[in-house]
Amino acid sequence: MRPSHQHALDRWLAAERGSRPEEAEAALHELFAALPLVAPPAGFADRVLVRAGLAAARRDLFASRGVRLVLAACLAATGLGALWLPPTLRVLAGLWSLSSFVRAGLETLTGVTQWLASVLRLGELLVTVGRALTEPLTLPQVTAVLVICLLASSLGFRFLRDQITGERNWTYVDRV
């Protein structure tokens, strides 16, 4: 049987109506303290994960013997690689010198400069062509002709639209 908290509710409402905020606050806290705690049953999260198919994701990855063996083999390979690193660097240092680095840098700089020059030449050509196409359009005579052409095409479109919409009806084929 549930206990009745009507007395605390009545005190809270009366305190609110009577403009007594401290007493209303205390009665409201008493009401909230009397509410039952709602918690899911034990094992709820596990059942949801099993239903969603994520139960295997909870396993510890490093618990399996195979993963541990693979990690040990990787650690051993890294250690052996660290032993081979100094002789390898000595050989590579003998192949490369400061002059070869400078030569490679200058060749790269020359190639980038040539590429930039060709891009700029192409841009200059495009600007020249664009200027040649737009200069005639700035003349008043050409602008007037273009406006007349625009008006003629607008009128033609309007008459064509009226013609097409005027012929619409529910009968698509004439009766024979």
Question: For the segment 80-115, what is each residue's pLDDT rounded down to a tens digit?
Answer: 888 888 888 887 777 777 888 899 899 999 999 999
Whole-angstrom CA distances from 55 to 52, 60, 61, 136 are 8, 11, 13, 75
Instruction: Report d(CA 117, CA 60) in Å as an integer.
Output: 59
CA–CA separation, 168 and 151 (whole Å): 26
DSSP state of 21: H
Residue whose token pair is 């040649």? 132
CB 50 within 8 A of CB 59: no
Per-residue pLDDT tens digits for 44-61: 887 887 888 776 555 667
pLDDT of residue 58: 54
